[in-house]
């Protein structure tokens, strides 16, 4: 019997610098072992030849709560980004994180929260609601401006890369470890990178109710 907590799957991440896009754009394609696209993966590159400054956006990023779920599920941001958590449900939420990269909690509220959380350290941050245990989302805080999140088609384009050497990495909430390798962006020309990654099973807390129980969660 497979372990209930984890099983090993292999996904292939194909990264290619394509001249058909603007020079310096990396297209990352994620697939699971069955060949299906993997959404909500964060692909990012770190420049190896020079330091690159990051500038957080002027406006805060919003992670909403709707139908007692967070939306979006994964939010990549750069260090220093402010995030707000509007509650569009008709029930209160208690948003928290105990992740090392950012610990915080927003007391019970409904509607627009007055709290703005600044994510000032790089790393993954797991969000939860202390009332509804099944609610989970992730903020991935980056120290590079070059990143993108895969969409439903499993692809992400990282644009605006000057020529040079970079380290490409991919992060996903179910990744067992970091995945990455060095790539080179040329003035022109194509390059393809294939990286094997290990995924954990999707272990979210079950939301469906128990028969005879009409409890809050």
Is 203 a binding residue for another protein by CB under 8 A? The answer is yes
φ/ψ region of 19 (left if φ > 0, alpha if ψ in -120 to 50, else beta) reads alpha
Contact between 93 and 129 under an 8 Å Cβ cutoff? The reply is yes
Closest approach, Cβ 77 to another protein, in A, equals: 22
Q: Kindly state whether residue 173 participates in binding another protein, applying the rule CB under 8 A.
A: no
Nearest-5° Cα angle at 144, 141 to 145: 100
**189 DSSP β-pair partners:** none
* Nearest distance from C-beta of residue 83 to another protein, angstroms: 18
From residue 85 to residue 114, the character string flagging contacts with another protein as x (rule: CB under 8 A) and all else as - is -----xxx-x-x-x------x-xx-x----
| Beta-sheet pairing, 74-78 with 136-142 | parallel
Residue 204 in the binding site for another protein (CB under 8 A): yes
Does residue 130 interact with another protein by CB under 8 A?
A: yes
Cβ proximity to another protein: between 22 and 110 the closer is 110
DSSP state for residue 80 in the 8-state scheme: T
Query: Which of 55/203 has CB closer to another protein?
Result: 203
The separation between CA 139 and the C-alpha centre of its own chain, rounded to angstroms, equals 6
Burial class (CB in 10 A: 0-12, 13-18, 19+), 15: buried
Does position 34 interact with another protein (CB under 8 A)? The reply is no
Footprint of another protein (CB under 8 A): 4-5, 90-92, 94, 96, 98, 105, 107-108, 110, 128, 130-131, 133, 201-216
């Amino acid at each position: 019997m497979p372990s209930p907590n984890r099983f090993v799957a292999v996904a292939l991440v194909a990264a290619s610098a394509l001249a058909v896009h603007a020079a310096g754009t990396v297209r990352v394609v994620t697939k699971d072992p069955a060949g299906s696209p993997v959404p909500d993966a964060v692909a990012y590159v770190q420049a190896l030849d020079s330091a690159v400054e990051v500038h957080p956006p002027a406006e805060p990023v919003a992670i909403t709560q709707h139908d007692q779920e967070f939306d979006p599920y994964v939010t990549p941001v750069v260090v220093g980004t402010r995030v707000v958590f509007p509650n569009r449900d008709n029930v209160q939420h208690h948003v928290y994180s105990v992740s090392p990269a950012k610990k915080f909690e927003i007391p019970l509220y409904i509607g627009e929260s007055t709290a703005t959380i600044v994510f000032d350290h790089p790393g993954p941050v797991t969000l939860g609601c202390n009332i509804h245990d099944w609610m989970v989302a992730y903020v991935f805080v980056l120290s590079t401006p070059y990143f993108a999140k895969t969409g439903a088609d499993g692809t992400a384009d990282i644009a605006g890369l000057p020529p040079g050497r970079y380290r490409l990495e991919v992060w996903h909430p179910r990744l067992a470890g970091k995945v990455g390798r060095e790539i080179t962006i040329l003035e022109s020309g194509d390059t393809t990178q294939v990286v094997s990654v290990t995924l954990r099973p999707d272990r979210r807390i079950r939301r469906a109710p128990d028969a005879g129980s009409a409890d809050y969660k």
